[in-house]
Structure 1
Amino acid sequence: MARVQHAKDVAAERLLSIPGVHTVGIGYKRRGGEVTADLAVIVFVDTKLPRADVPPDRMVPLEIRFFMDSSDREESVPTDVVEQARPVEYTHIPAGTLAGRARPVAGGRSIARAASGGGTLGGWVWDGLNDEVVLLTNNHVLGGAAGTDVFQPWGSTAATDHIADVVRTGTLDATIAAPVNAADVLEEIEGVGPAVFEITTATVGMPVEKSGAKTDHTTGWVEYVGLTGHYGSTNDFQVAPDPGMPNGRFAYYGDSGSLIVERTNPSGGSWKRVVGLLWGGNPELGNAKAHQVQDVFADLNLDTLCAGAFEEFLDNLFAPNFPEEPLKVTPIQLPEPVTMPLTTGPRVSLSGALLALQQAAGRPFARSRPLHRGMARDVEARLRLSRMGSDLVTAIHENRVGLARLVLDRQTRRALASAAAPFVEGVWTADELLGRQVTEEDLARFHRVARIAEDHRPELQPLLERVNRILGELPGRSFDDVLR
């Protein structure tokens, strides 16, 4: 694959300069209409002609010749010319099986801004800049103006259907919006399951599925990757519908914003890995074009719900241990005295004021940013140094859906924080945390945390049984002592 990617990168600019060529990508070469096992640089053209009829200035080379880095040997990769119309965005047309009103709102449902066509709410993700849950869809569905009202279902502008406000957009066709009411969030994709709890890269031949407001739940396979064009991306991919899909479609108008997921999780998890953000396609072929979701996450500083919410919760436990440093003010020497009326008032924390403004503006998941970031990652890295600790980390990842939902519930979150906070008071590092001796009072608090977790998320019981076995060995010892 690396060779083909390199060949595409070397030749893309030259190929796109050929009249009639509109997209370059990577996929399996076809011969006589049949897919072969040979990867090739795919050249998409408006009209494909017999080679003998192609003018010299429109001729696509049969192969791309190039030198790999640090090699004197010339290599080659075949090309394949594919006739395909230029893709369009799948903006809204009326109707659709997932177009109706739903509360709470899962991925796959219809959304829109006022006086626009609308599209599909892809799913709920974690905003790493504001530490909150946000919905993810396309820029061409919601635009990018911060504060724009988002309605569900599309076509409504009723106050009761105002579910979110646009936060920001990026350089790709992607926009996020923060929910007005936490109760409206359902961490699932209709017909798919829990999401978004893991992401991965779409690869050629991968079986995938999606749920969209127009065509509902459909399945297909990744036909091409590394596609050039949309919003300047050079890494998009195309999905072809599986045989037997209604009307021969994987996606259609109204499905813009849908999240494309891998059909089965190779680890056997109850969730499926998200691979792409659908933005359009060729309606006459029923296919879909999408951004790689990893590119979207990097562009908008997003994370999965489990990684973002759980890490933010743990990091916030340590926030009181890191007092905010006062602002340093350099006095300015003025040429003559300046006087003005002065009204004094109570001192206001800027971070607290920002949090209050966010929540007052309908940002229920907004948190004050922890002053120490990364404690959760530091603890995980330390745990992985021992076999028992590594097994515990693996078990935590296997239960990511239940743990994320546990800390996303505000009432449960407060109860957990109240029970756990005394043990971490004064802790600055992972070494201090794992090396701290556990008292009987600490143990009682840990058992309280476990009971709260089991009461609210019964599916966590197997994980909590493992935790309770560790807790039984803790009094008078540290986590390091037990997990070593």
Structure 2
Amino acid sequence: MTEQGAESQARSRIRPVKERVEDALILRPGVVGVDIAEKQTGGEPTGQLSIVVFVEQKLPAGDVPAEQLVPDEIDGIPTDVQELEIELQPGSMKVLAGDEPLLDPAVYPTMVGGISMGPQRTIYLAPPDVPSPGNYVFSGTLGAMVRDRASGATMALTNFHVACVDTTWSVGDVMVQPSRADDDANDDPFGTLARAQLTDTVDGAVVRLDAGQAWDATVTGIGAVAGRATATVGMAVQKRGRTTEHTFGSVVSTDFTLQVDYGNGIGVRTFRHQLRIAPDTTRSPRFSDRGDSGSVVMDTARNVVGLLFAGSRDGSFTFANPIQMALDALGVDLITGPVVTGSRMVICQPSRIKIFCGGPLISRQVVCVTRAVWCPTRTVITCPPPTRRPICWDQEWPFDPPGPFGPGQGAPSAGDAVAASGVPAGASAAELEAYWAGYLTALEEAVAAEQQGEQA
């Protein structure tokens, strides 16, 4: 049996015991979470899976009443106690109290995932929820674009505590981008709160876009949403949020039970079957921070696996709802962006990088793309036979139904792409693969060449 298979088998053995005792454990003073994780001795991992009880502050055994001590084992499963401070991750600012340090307070005329958003209204808060009483504005992240299962309306996915904040919310609350914590003078709405859910598995909300509001089924800095997937332990993941922007990590648990204090009249809520994510510290010191709530967590193939809502104060972990639970609770489905199938076409999304035809591309065989390529406009890049240089053009496809390109722009079919590409009719799969092979490399070399030219 492989090491991964042995770990999965061990988790399956521990899981029913953990789920049977977690309610009793999490009610003990100071306990904030229960999970299946590696036991530590002297702060060092032992390689042994155990039921881990997370506490805000670990105390010597002699300072804990006997009835509150965590036993050394439960039904033959070893236990451990580790420290963890958990917090929700919205950004907030007292009105007229000054600026908050930010990384991306930018205005995005087209709604996409990974950007700042928040309620237009202010929320009155008082201690202990905030240092001083007053009217506050909140910010979080627009996670991804979704479609309402009942009406087909286009909506934006985020957290309950980003869009609703407290118990004073109502359907129809106006949302702005960027949030007023990022631009207090912003009075330009992009949509209204449609519904929200705060359950033992989901902290979610959806915002119905205003008529005529431009949108795109991408996460800025990452690319088109390819679909959804189920998170697994060890899975490499990424996210793009309003504060820490594009970060990387890995799923360390899909069994996390935690308590989070929502304050604001809501109080402490318990969540079960949550994702626990550790940052890849070689690429980013934290996976998330305040203001990143509402981000979608994606795998390396751009499939959404979770909806980020909380994290540890020291940045050691981030917590997310499994995405299918969030979608089902809210009655929506992810809208996917253009995904290359059969490597027959490239859909370009807005960015600062320009892709051009000619120059280095003229003498190259330009073929196969397996992911979206970034360029300044929605452009379809097609290639005639390899003996000729590629042709690029901008075109609004004459399809009426709304699609991932935005209102009034439907996606071209695979047949359209093949017809436009100049691929000989009846070509075999091997001939097609050979025809398109090398496309992405040529495009990326073109981008690199232009970037070097701009820097020169």
TM-score bracket, shorter-length normalisation: 0.5 to 0.7
Query: How big is the shift at 1:415?
Result: 7.9
Work out which of the two has the higher radius of gyration on C-alpha atoms and give 1 or 2. Answer: 1
Matched, 1:162 2:200: no
Question: Equivalents in 2 of 1:62, 1:399: separation in Å?
Answer: 50
Whichever residue aligns with residue 275 of structure 2, its letter is: F
Question: Equivalents in 1 of 2:212, 2:424: separation in Å?
Answer: 31
Change (3 A) 1:286 1:27: closer
- 1:71-96 per-position Cα deviation (integer Å, ceiling 9, x unaligned): xxxxx322221111243333345342
Of the three residues 22, 46, 55, the one matched with 1:45 is: 55
Question: Equivalents in 2 of 1:132, 1:206: separation in Å?
Answer: 32
For 2:244, the equivalent position in structure 1 comes to 215
Where is the helix percentage greater, Structure 1 or Structure 2? 1
For 2:228, the equivalent position in structure 1 comes to 199
Question: Equivalents in 1 of 2:425, 2:24: separation in Å?
Answer: 59
Of the three residues 315, 339, 364, the one matched with 1:285 is: 315
Change (3 A) 1:17 1:89: same
TM-score, structure 2 normalization: 0.62
Are the aligned partners of 1:163 and 1:184 in contact in 2 as well (CA < 8 Å)? no
**How do residues 225-236 of structure 1 correspond to structure 2 at under 5 angstroms?**
225-228=254-257, 229-230=259-260, 231-236=269-274
Query: How big is the shift at 1:22?
Result: 2.3
TM-score, structure 1 normalization: 0.58
Question: Equivalents in 2 of 1:62, 1:203: separation in Å?
Answer: 28
Query: How big is the shift at 1:44?
Result: 0.8
Change (3 A) 1:86 1:153: closer
Identity among equivalent positions (%) equals 30
**How do residues 324-473 of structure 1 correspond to structure 2 at under 5 angstroms?**
412-414=398-400
Change (3 A) 1:239 1:416: closer
Question: Equivalents in 2 of 1:139, 1:104: separation in Å?
Answer: 22
**How do residues 45-124 of structure 1 correspond to structure 2 at under 5 angstroms?**
45-65=55-75, 76-92=76-92, 94-114=100-120, 115=122, 116-124=137-145
For 1:31, the equivalent position in structure 2 comes to 41
CA-based RMSD of the aligned residues comes to 3.7
Query: How big is the shift at 1:39?
Result: 2.7
Structure 1's unaligned 5+ residue stretches are 66-75, 266-271, 308-397, 418-447, 471-484
Question: Equivalents in 2 of 1:225, 1:61: separation in Å?
Answer: 24
Query: How big is the shift at 1:159?
Result: 8.2
Query: How big is the shift at 1:182?
Result: 5.1
Matched, 1:188 2:225: no
Query: How big is the shift at 1:175?
Result: 0.5
For 2:3, the equivalent position in structure 1 comes to none
Where is the strand percentage greater, Structure 1 or Structure 2? 2
Question: Equivalents in 2 of 1:466, 1:165: separation in Å?
Answer: 49
Structure 2's unaligned 5+ residue stretches are 1-10, 94-99, 123-136, 261-268, 338-369, 380-394, 404-411, 429-456
Query: How big is the shift at 1:254?
Result: 1.0
Shifted more, 198-207 versus 275-284: the winner is 198-207
Change (3 A) 1:51 1:145: same
Whichever residue aligns with residue 84 of structure 1, its letter is: L
Change (3 A) 1:414 1:37: same
SS in 1 for 2:272: coil
Change (3 A) 1:13 1:105: same
Q: How many residues are aligned here?
A: 322
